Amino acid sequence: MDATNRARWADTLAVFDLETTGIDVDTCRIVTAHVGVIGADGEVLEERAWLVDPGVEIPAAASLIHGVTTERARLEGQPAVSAIAEIIDALADVACRGLPIVAYNAAYDLTLLEREAQRYGHAPLPEPAPVVDPLVIDKAIDRYRRGKRTLTAAAAHYGVSLPNAHDAGADAVAAGRVAQAIVRAYPELAAIAVGDLHARQVDWCREQAESYQAYRRANGEPEFTTSGAWPVRRQPAASVAATAVLAAPEVVAGRFPDRVDPDALF
């Protein structure tokens, strides 16, 4: 598909990524974040980055992934209470400008951000839409492709350079470029208004979660459950007030819970 026929919504995209202390959205904390904007050729037009002191120990397993240690976060990081507010404001700004927000595995990043907002008493990001999630879209349009569906794997499949995986800035920009590459590879996506694409992703993510849950139950885990809510997985009302005081035993001990999709983050 040539540039004149490319989906207009993909010409300018907001991009978003978090690196964190783990993979459980209810307990882990933000360590680094990136909010930016890319143009039609994937060029970076705007960028803003945060290094955050999460207020808890960063497990060695997480530090090995993104390179930020507890010591560095405490020495150089911005207090989480102000950083979270700024990240929410940055995303609200690009949303108000009508830019789709691209996040790879958006339900992880946007849900975690909402939990952090609750933890520090901030108003959460207003219902984020439209969101473009290359992970959900890729699984829907190329369902039977073998192999991993991590960002690194998707970038390689679609010919997008990702030289510094698990850096929030590199991952955010790569996710945006993967979204643009998917549009080029599948011209039918160009005919879908981005608001309609958002709605389709809600359905696709639910269907993907149902399929994954059925697979796990059929393979020795009859009680396994997972959520297909997208792009934010809401807490039950009774749990919201407790978020600010919940301990994070899996995170502090450096152990990750096993109830996550293997495409989650790491």
Per-residue pLDDT of the chain (266 residues; tens, 9 = 90+): 444 444 689 999 999 999 999 999 999 999 999 999 999 999 999 999 999 999 999 999 999 999 999 999 999 999 999 999 999 999 999 999 999 999 999 999 999 999 999 999 999 999 888 999 999 999 999 999 999 999 999 999 999 999 999 999 999 999 999 999 999 999 899 889 999 999 999 999 999 999 999 999 999 999 999 999 999 998 766 555 555 444 333 333 333 343 444 444 44
**Burial degree of 247 (CB within 10 A; 0-12, 13-18, 19+):** exposed
Query: b vs e for 72-98, b when ≥16 Cβ sit within 10 Å of the residue's Cβ?
Result: ebeeebeebeebbbebbebbeebbeee
Identify which of 53, 63, 69, 74 has the alpha carbon closest to the alpha carbon of residue 266: 63
Question: In the β-sheet with 44-53, what is the strand arrangement from edge to edge?
Answer: 78-79, 44-53, 30-38, 13-20, 101-102, 131-132
In the chain, where the domains are located: 7-252
Count of residues in the chain: 266
pTM score over 0.85: yes
Rg (CA), the chain: 18
Q: What's the CATH code, domain 7-252?
A: 3.30.420.10
47 by DSSP, 3-state: which?
A: strand
In 10 A of CB 148, how many CB atoms? Answer: 12
